[in-house]
Amino acid sequence: MKIGVLALQGAVREHVRQIQTLGCEAIEVKSMNDLPGLKGLVLPGGESTVMRKLLDRYGLLEPVRSLAKKGVPMFGTCAGLILLAKEIVGCEEAHLKLMDVVVERNSFGRQVDSFEVEISIEKVGKDIPAVFIRAPHIVSVGPGVEILAEYDGRIVLAKQGQYLGCSFHPELTGDTRLMEYFIEMAKEIHPSTLAKTNRI
Ligand code: GLN
């Protein structure tokens, strides 16, 4: 089973390693030629504004959106969550606009304020290590969105059908349970769920 990792910038290698540890083939996505055959796509953390520029430069924005419309599950971590969001506070135009969430950037302080905590994630585990680096949070969610975890009174993980988005970096720890959850999602997703999740 092939799981792609958008490999334009950011924490790519760590996701690749987790995907391989879980017995899947990891594909580093650098152009639209890398997209066919993917059963899931991870949008890593990094810097969302830079990633957006590179998505435009390499002509990947629309191909990634089309992949989503075909029902391929997507997992956005940190900057990746920002890319997925329908709306970004203070930003006129969001990026992929696939997941019905409003996000605010840099909600947990600057790079030097980075921290690791253990959070409890419904359906995944009670003591999941989560690294926050200039992390966004989810301000509000649309009707079809399930909130899976909160930290410090803020939503930090949510799922909407084929989309999973988290504020933190799960890949920077040795714990693969959240990636495992995403891979299970990718195995289960069926085209019949498409109509419901792709209204944006
Ligand atoms: N603050 C970054 C952004 O807005 C995200 C940080 C991260 O991915 N660790 O893109």
Domain total for the chain? Answer: 1
9-39: per-residue pLDDT in tens? 999 999 999 999 999 999 999 999 999 999 9
**Ligand 1 within 6 A of CB of 106:** yes
Residue 179 has pLDDT above 50, yes or no: yes
Give me the CATH number covering residue 121: 3.40.50.880
Contact yes or no for 171/133 (Cβ under 8 A): no
Q: Rounded distance, CA 28 to CA 81, Å?
A: 18
| CA quadruple 97, 31, 19, 116: dihedral sign | negative
Instruction: Report ipTM for this prediction.
Output: 0.96
Asked which of 43-52, 80-89, 133-142, 186-195 is least confident by mean pLDDT, the reply is 186-195
Task: Give the chain's length.
Answer: 200
Q: Rounded distance, CA 10 to CA 104, Å?
A: 19
Token code pair at residue 21: 């540890």
**Is 40 one of the annotated binding-site residues?**
no
C-alpha 112 – ligand 1 centre gap (Å)? 13
Residue 193 has pLDDT above 70, yes or no: no
In DSSP notation, 128-182 reads EEEEESS--EEEEE-TTPEEEEEETTEEEEEEETTEEEESSBGGGSS--HHHHHH
Average pLDDT, stretch 121-130? 93
C-alpha 50 – ligand 1 centre gap (Å)? 10
Q: Rounded distance, CA 82 to CA 157, Å?
A: 12
Given pLDDT bands bounded at 50, 70 and 90, which one contains residue 195? very low
**Ligand 1 within 6 A of CB of 79:** yes
C-alpha 134 – ligand 1 centre gap (Å)? 6
Structural domain of 118: 2-197
Q: Which of 14, 15, 24, 78 is catalytic?
A: 78
